[in-house]
Amino acid sequence: MNRLLKLVAIVASLFVLPLPAQAYLGPGGVVSGVGALLALVAAVVASLFGFVWFPLKRLIRRVRERRHPISTGMVPTPESPAE
């Protein structure tokens, strides 16, 4: 039983130890990786912009219309005929 436990511990430690990676990234691979990373960042920024800015812009427009209804065209002025 003691030998089996030692064997399992040795085998488990071999799976945990890192092995050297014989890896080479050429210029094309690096440029592709950087391009993919930049595309991911741009997608996150665009989604945040869409989900935050456009509803915020709509809210600002509604607040301005409530504060100044004449300047936004909600109330007819003497120059423009009422519909």
Q: What is the predicted pLDDT for the residue at 74?
A: 57
Average pLDDT, the chain: 82
Instruction: Tell me: pLDDT of 33 over 80.
Output: yes
Polymer length in residues for the chain: 83
Confidence (pTM): 0.47
Instruction: Tell me: pLDDT of 73 over 60.
Output: no
d(CA 68, CA 10): 78
Mean pLDDT computed over 3-20 = 86
Q: What is the predicted pLDDT for the residue at 46?
A: 93
Instruction: Tell me: pLDDT of 48 over 70.
Output: yes
